[in-house]
Structure 1
Amino acid sequence: MTAALQALQLIAFLAAVACAVYCFGYAVSVRIRYIGLGRPDPPRPAGSGGRLDSGSAEPSFAAQVFGHRKLLNDRKSGVMHLVLFYGFLLLQLGAIDLIGQGLSREWRLPLGPLYPYFALQQEITVILVLAAIAYAAYRRYGEKLPRLKRNREAATVVLLIGGLMLSVALTNGFKLAWDGGHPSLWHPVASAVAACVSLLPEAAAGALFYIGWWLHLLILLAFLVYVPQSKHAHILFAPLNLYGRRKMPRLPETIDFDTAEDEQFGAGSLQGLTKHQLLDLYACVECGRCSNVCPATGTGKTLSPMQLITNLRDHLNAVGQAVTSRSPWMPAAVFAGKSQGTLADPSLRMVGDVVTQAELWACTTCRNCEDQCPVGNEHVSMIIDMRRHLTMTEGDVPGTAARVLQNLERQGNPWGLSRHARRDWIEELRREGAIVPEARSGEPFELLFYVGSMGSYDTRAKSVTKAVARLLEAAGCSYAVMGEEEWNSGDTARRLGQEYLYQESARETIERFKKFGVRRIVTADPHAYHAFRNEYADLGMPDGIEVLHHTELLASLVREGRLVPAARLDAAATYHDSCYLGRYNGKYGPAREVLRAIPGLELREMERSGPNAMCCGAGGGLMWMEETEGTRIHTARAEQAVAVAPDVVATACPYCLTMMRDGLTHLQRERIETRDIAELLARSVFGPADA
């Protein structure tokens, strides 16, 4: 190549790179500006969410970004993505080397005697990435996985990555032919390409090299510009999202009603969401893992966690453009068509138009979506923030939920029953000969048994309460209950978006804890357990109070020999994991430890168990609401239990107990018992006749 052509090549190269870098920078900066439309993120107390057991805690930042920990839950997709991820990293050195060769024929990376090894590694990597992208295309278009979208955007990415790899292989082969190189094991792919064009004159081989070189460069720069304007923006935003994510996701920050300056609560618009929540929208990879495990999506409800995120993202692009007067697309002439979707109207209401009420009220807050998300998105906090807007700002709550909130406010329980009835179970158990000590100010006890509204009022759940009390007495525990002094934990109110009522209930409960000098709490209600353990600290819960779930305490009492399960229960049992005990708090082992300690009881795991267990459908306040779309969630979960042919379905939550019983009844499988862990242990400790 003459000096003039080399100079022209350099000028064209610099112009193309400058243009691409400018477009990339513009697209990224605009999205950062859009994220800035959100509210400031609340301060996160040091160690918030740090109470998770180390064995069940969220994977570290490094493990998720560089180890693809969550992606590897789906082994095939995870390995494929690992190859693509590290292949791209390794090929960047090759791209530098190839670009340098196009600007100067004698250029080589200064690797000395290691260069042949580098060249071989690059060719092997190209083959592996081509195989991975071919498999990705098969998964999407051949296997047609339901969770994967099949649209122009997905096809564009497949073509760009495939084109990049082919251009590398062809260009290296043309270069080898141009240089008159001989076939070599260090260049297997390039040698094969060179052999195909070996009969061409040197000048023709050189021309093919520059055609391939420019093709590779333009595809590479096009991909650079395309990334921040597509779902592949997660390459940039997902690491930031994971880095800024809480150790354990919690609900939105506690609202300070004393300093609130207006009557607008929750998120009715994008500006009502926090910056980190808006970052979630651009971090989404659209892999569909969230919707794949969502109990609402899986049973035919309107809600799809992935669609919720992508709809909000498209709406953010429209609102951001209207507010900042900056187009989200660069160059707009190429990407303008992307902005013509149904959500491109910035005048649409976020709650009602972009996200429907049916979607918001279908969420069980089980967090299976978040647990599966490889980029750390927190769908539930956004949904609760939008519920807060409906409940506290609009006053728009489904009828049954509205009645529950009213009953909680007036009588402190979801049914609106008398407060005096909270201690009915105490009198019933005392008539059976139990002691059941009640807390009195100034009278010492070691353990407070917090019963909760379900355990106090619900006929079926009261059996669990009695079993726990009898086991505590048998183990010689110094415990007490609060009886009429007990207050609702406020969990249901918070999940339904009524933050003010939640705070009132929580503060009342905390005052009673202080009144009785409580230092240790046990409860059979995972929802109260989670609230006490992780959420009450924001409202003045005294430091140092130990909170136990009854399965944790019972497991330790069995382990210490203070409870001895002696009677055989010859039956097959399957255990349903409570979301608020498992995914929210990482407690999967204690219940299973108790079950395995019972002689004759065979534990059979459902296909979806442990961290990937399906919700029973009661969480998020849905215990008190009627399902009107698709299949009932508890029926779908009961079908999964029936599949392992159990004699009994064991639970560790009064809500789950009710839902699993109703699901089995709906399936006409009433012969399968539903029992709490405490009830099964009591049968073995006291004997079936006395349990």
Structure 2
Amino acid sequence: MPVLQTDAVTRETFWTIGPVGEAAFYYLAAVAILVFLYGVYARIVTYAAAPADPFARLDDLGKRVARATRLLLTNEAQFDRDTYAGVMHTFVVWGFLTLLIGTTILAIDMDIWTKLLGQDSFFVGDFYRSYSLVMDALGLLFVVGVGMAMWRRYGVREARLWGKHTDLEDDAFVLTLFALGVGGYLVEGLRILGTGFPDFETVSFVGYALALVGRAAGLDPGTAEAVYAVAWWSHSLLALGFVALLPYAKPVHMLTSMANVVTRDEKAGKRLPGVPADASPEEIGTGSVDDFTWRELLDQDACTTCGRCSSVCPANEVGRNLDPRDVILDLKAYREARAAGEAEELPIVADGGESVVAAESMNACLSCMACMDACPVDIEHVRQFTGMNRRLTESGEMDPHVQDAMMNVFQQGNVFGDPARKRPDWAADLDFEVPDAREKPVDLLWYVGDYPSYDDRNRRVARALARIFEAAGVSYGILYDDERHDGNDVRRVGEEGLYEMLVEDNAAALESCEFDELVCTDPHSYNTFTHEYPEMADDFDYPVSHYTEVVERLVSEGRLPLSSSLDYAVTYHDPCHLGRMNDVYEAPRELVRATGATLAEMPRNRSNSFCCGGGGGGVWTEVEEETKPSEERLREAVEDTDADVETFVVACPMCTTMFEDGRKTGDFEDELEIVDLTELLVEAMDAPVGSVADGATSELPE
């Protein structure tokens, strides 16, 4: 005969399990928790033994935890670009947290409130009804969410979920979660059936429904009671095993990803750590597992293998030897194999020979930060990639074309290798003189940059912007031959020493001038002046703007004689360093609209923009490939944009260079015209800047 519940609105937690079974459960639970805590402790010890991180990671801890908690509960990072994943993850997280909290409440009632404190159980009446309803509802969300994950993984076989690091652990993880969710309901259904369907248990609507199904299938209360203990122990042992093994297997990301979000650097990728002044050449960069900081180790452990970074990486999309996820997980796998004595010592990165990461992969990285922007757990890929680039540089294994560009910068202060005295030659064809900021105070100190100064195609951009400043009556000036390369991409290819020299030279040149605001033509300059120079140069605290922000301000103030005369459709490409890294999205678009042109957005725009291929030294390299990133972006503009677009607008000299090249190699010369935003504005002003279709072309420096 089944053991019936009393009339109280509650349930017997260890129904049919008995005192011996209850004691065994508590023993196993204690063992599971101890194993879990030791695993967490071992990881903390590993992180603590690693080198310190150069950036503050625990300042404003309250705000950090609050932000991480908000992201955990809202799942906004998972919703980004993937609504299905967002809904799925929300169901799983909310369901899991509810079940965890519910189990904790039950343990408090049983073990502390009643046994330790001797109070009457609160797990009765309305509290029990509310508890049961919430647990069943949110538990159902959990099962549905895990089911959605299984469907995406095994049903439609989402490509980004599969890779070289996908293995049986992934299957075991998702199947265990599903078994835990479904198993809990089966245990509940057996109990409800075995106790004679108490009326108050209807609030446990999922378990009650399963009990009804069981009865309809011929399962009687006595059989339900007999099966219950087996089902209960199976469910309990699976849950305790999951808890115990969590720090040792792939589910550890449930802990490490939260820690990663809490300890994020809000400027990650926009700024990079420096090199200690006393570091010897062999100590610069990432050469062995001992070089990883604790945060870099945490990065590797936090990876959920979701593949979001891989799916947005432009280098990966065009078939280059770079998958951001694989690089992070290769480093983790090698580190763990070394710790277990299962792998021989290898260089972390090398050009040729056996290494953990191939130099080709690092050369392919464009430092566009698309991977970091897409990562839901704030992994700082570019930071780790730069560490490996520094090692390649110090070991003399830099890409030859990049090495030539670096030599030009070292000798002449620019990547073209032309004399510094020729830097202001772009202004020779203007019918006015560009002011010298070294000779008189100005409101705007205009940092022109290498490409607008030396590259024939981009010189037209410099002249267009000069005309805009003149037409608006702006007080501005340039540094003439005292200007040097900004160093943003010099740093990202690993030449930290050269970067420090450029910072010193440019900071000294700026310090000799009197101005209110520093304005940049190139978003790469804008980025490093904004985020990196202040940490490298004393008293570098100038307001920094991109020219689109300044000109948009002039237009809004009515200072620029601009007519809305352009009546054709254009599309606008968000440069990585302007948009994704620095959130400048609206100013360029407002300027496009101010010309009268119709703005047609490409599918990948704003933070989801697709890199031109020029960042991270890409503008200086030559890669034999079927499709270049610039060609893929132009294809998107032609084929995937809603309007019939013939004008492709950019706001970055490097983008201009890459897209002019891709326009030729991709056979888009008859379909698209590459126009800098300054040139579009001057056209709307009816100023004679010439057609982009004729004249010089943009060339890569040899």
Q: TM-score, normalised by structure 1?
A: 0.89
CA distance in 2, matches of 1:569, 1:4: 81
1:150-299 equivalence runs, <5 A: 151-182=167-198, 185-196=202-213, 198=215, 204-250=223-269, 251-257=271-277, 259-260=278-279, 263-299=282-318
Contact 1:520/1:546 (8 A) holds in 2:
yes
- In the TM superposition, what is the alpha-carbon distance from 1:230 to its structure 2 partner? 2.9
CA distance in 1, matches of 2:72, 2:380: 17
Structure 1 residue 70 and structure 2 residue 104: aligned? no
1:568-583 equivalence runs, <5 A: 568-583=565-580
Q: Do the aligned partners of residues 274 and 231 (structure 1) sit closer, same or farther apart at CA in structure 2, a change above 3 Å counting?
A: same
- Partner residue of 1:657? 656
Q: Do the aligned partners of residues 271 and 659 (structure 1) sit closer, same or farther apart at CA in structure 2, a change above 3 Å counting?
A: same
Contact 2:88/2:145 (8 A) holds in 1:
yes
Q: Do the aligned partners of residues 376 and 5 (structure 1) sit closer, same or farther apart at CA in structure 2, a change above 3 Å counting?
A: closer
Instruction: Report SS of the residue matched to 1:621.
Output: helix
Q: Which letter does structure 1 place at the counterpart of 2:647?
A: V
Q: Do the aligned partners of residues 419 and 681 (structure 1) sit closer, same or farther apart at CA in structure 2, a change above 3 Å counting?
A: same
- Partner residue of 1:423? 424
- Partner residue of 1:404? 405
CA distance in 2, matches of 1:32, 1:58: 18
Q: Do the aligned partners of residues 272 and 308 (structure 1) sit closer, same or farther apart at CA in structure 2, a change above 3 Å counting?
A: same
CA distance in 2, matches of 1:207, 1:141: 35
Instruction: Report SS of the residue matched to 1:686.
Output: coil
**Structure 1 stretch 539-548 or stretch 522-531: which is displaced more?**
539-548
Q: Do the aligned partners of residues 263 and 93 (structure 1) sit closer, same or farther apart at CA in structure 2, a change above 3 Å counting?
A: closer
Q: Do the aligned partners of residues 261 and 358 (structure 1) sit closer, same or farther apart at CA in structure 2, a change above 3 Å counting?
A: closer
Q: Do the aligned partners of residues 594 and 652 (structure 1) sit closer, same or farther apart at CA in structure 2, a change above 3 Å counting?
A: same
**In the alignment, which of 20, 26, 32 is matched to residue 38 of structure 2?**
26
- Partner residue of 1:327? none
CA distance in 2, matches of 1:514, 1:29: 50
1:97-136 equivalence runs, <5 A: 110-136=123-149
- Partner residue of 2:361? 359
CA distance in 1, matches of 2:66, 2:567: 39
What percent of counterpart residues are identical?
33
- In the TM superposition, what is the alpha-carbon distance from 1:690 to its structure 2 partner? 7.3
Q: Do the aligned partners of residues 3 and 296 (structure 1) sit closer, same or farther apart at CA in structure 2, a change above 3 Å counting?
A: closer
**Structure 1 stretch 94-103 or stretch 83-92: which is displaced more?**
94-103
- In the TM superposition, what is the alpha-carbon distance from 1:580 to its structure 2 partner? 0.6
CA distance in 2, matches of 1:58, 1:656: 38
Contact 1:365/1:619 (8 A) holds in 2:
yes
Q: Which letter does structure 1 place at the counterpart of 2:506?
A: T
Give the unaligned 5+ runs of structure 2.
4-13, 115-119, 692-702
Instruction: Report SS of the residue matched to 1:164.
Output: helix
Per-residue CA deviation, residues 598-642 of structure 1 (Å, 9 max, x unaligned), is: 12x110100100010010000001100012345211111111111
CA distance in 2, matches of 1:534, 1:689: 34
Instruction: Report SS of the residue matched to 2:74.
Output: coil
**In the alignment, which of 586, 609, 616 is matched to residue 613 of structure 1?**
609
Instruction: Report SS of the residue matched to 1:574.
Output: strand
- In the TM superposition, what is the alpha-carbon distance from 1:224 to its structure 2 partner? 1.4
Q: CA RMSD in A?
A: 2.8
Contact 2:526/2:546 (8 A) holds in 1:
yes
Per-residue CA deviation, residues 543-594 of structure 1 (Å, 9 max, x unaligned), is: 5411110100110011111113216222211101110111111111111010
Per-residue CA deviation, residues 81-110 of structure 1 (Å, 9 max, x unaligned), is: 111101011112444578899999xx9762
CA distance in 1, matches of 2:668, 2:143: 51
CA distance in 2, matches of 1:479, 1:83: 55
Per-residue CA deviation, residues 112-148 of structure 1 (Å, 9 max, x unaligned), is: 3232232122222232222221111111111111100
Q: Which letter does structure 1 place at the counterpart of 2:273?
A: E
CA distance in 2, matches of 1:303, 1:133: 30
CA distance in 2, matches of 1:47, 1:417: 46
Per-residue CA deviation, residues 495-519 of structure 1 (Å, 9 max, x unaligned), is: 1100000000111000000111343
Give the unaligned 5+ runs of structure 1.
49-56, 323-343
CA distance in 1, matches of 2:259, 2:535: 26
Instruction: Report SS of the residue matched to 1:309.
Output: helix
Instruction: Report SS of the residue matched to 2:559.
Output: coil
1:429-448 equivalence runs, <5 A: 429=430, 433-441=431-439, 443-448=440-445
Per-residue CA deviation, residues 267-289 of structure 1 (Å, 9 max, x unaligned), is: 11122121111100111111111
Contact 1:475/1:557 (8 A) holds in 2:
yes
CA distance in 2, matches of 1:217, 1:348: 43
Instruction: Report SS of the residue matched to 1:448.
Output: strand
CA distance in 2, matches of 1:194, 1:80: 27
Q: Do the aligned partners of residues 72 and 470 (structure 1) sit closer, same or farther apart at CA in structure 2, a change above 3 Å counting?
A: same
CA distance in 2, matches of 1:91, 1:3: 20
Contact 2:65/2:262 (8 A) holds in 1:
no
**In the alignment, which of 380, 384, 387 is matched to residue 385 of structure 1?**
387
CA distance in 2, matches of 1:379, 1:289: 12
**In the alignment, which of 32, 38, 41 is matched to residue 50 of structure 2?**
38
Contact 1:34/1:320 (8 A) holds in 2:
no
- Partner residue of 1:79? 87
CA distance in 1, matches of 2:107, 2:230: 13
CA distance in 2, matches of 1:424, 1:571: 33
Per-residue CA deviation, residues 327-371 of structure 1 (Å, 9 max, x unaligned), is: xxxxxxxxxxxxxxxxx5141222132111111111000001100
Larger relative contact order (C-alpha < 8 A, sep ≥ 6)? 1
Contact 1:567/1:688 (8 A) holds in 2:
no
- In the TM superposition, what is the alpha-carbon distance from 1:523 to its structure 2 partner? 1.3
CA distance in 1, matches of 2:66, 2:109: 42
- In the TM superposition, what is the alpha-carbon distance from 1:252 to its structure 2 partner? 3.2
- In the TM superposition, what is the alpha-carbon distance from 1:202 to its structure 2 partner? 5.3
**In the alignment, which of 11, 18, 22 is matched to residue 6 of structure 1?**
18
- In the TM superposition, what is the alpha-carbon distance from 1:232 to its structure 2 partner? 2.2
CA distance in 2, matches of 1:476, 1:469: 11
CA distance in 2, matches of 1:23, 1:194: 35
Per-residue CA deviation, residues 2-38 of structure 1 (Å, 9 max, x unaligned), is: 9997332133212321332233223323333333343
Structure 1 residue 456 and structure 2 residue 468: aligned? no
Q: Do the aligned partners of residues 4 and 289 (structure 1) sit closer, same or farther apart at CA in structure 2, a change above 3 Å counting?
A: closer
Q: TM-score, normalised by structure 2?
A: 0.88
CA distance in 1, matches of 2:230, 2:108: 15
- In the TM superposition, what is the alpha-carbon distance from 1:71 to its structure 2 partner? 0.4
**Structure 1 stretch 628-637 or stretch 406-415: which is displaced more?**
628-637
**Structure 1 stretch 292-301 or stretch 185-194: which is displaced more?**
185-194
**Structure 1 stretch 666-675 or stretch 523-532: which is displaced more?**
666-675
- Partner residue of 2:697? none
Q: Do the aligned partners of residues 598 and 579 (structure 1) sit closer, same or farther apart at CA in structure 2, a change above 3 Å counting?
A: same
CA distance in 1, matches of 2:319, 2:121: 58
Q: Do the aligned partners of residues 410 and 220 (structure 1) sit closer, same or farther apart at CA in structure 2, a change above 3 Å counting?
A: same
Instruction: Report SS of the residue matched to 2:648.
Output: strand
CA distance in 2, matches of 1:362, 1:136: 32
Contact 1:370/1:376 (8 A) holds in 2:
yes
- In the TM superposition, what is the alpha-carbon distance from 1:295 to its structure 2 partner? 0.3
**Structure 1 stretch 194-203 or stretch 579-588: which is displaced more?**
194-203
- Partner residue of 1:530? 527
Contact 1:100/1:108 (8 A) holds in 2:
no
Count of aligned pairs: 653
Per-residue CA deviation, residues 428-449 of structure 1 (Å, 9 max, x unaligned), is: 22xxx122111234x2222111
CA distance in 2, matches of 1:541, 1:681: 37
CA distance in 1, matches of 2:390, 2:66: 30
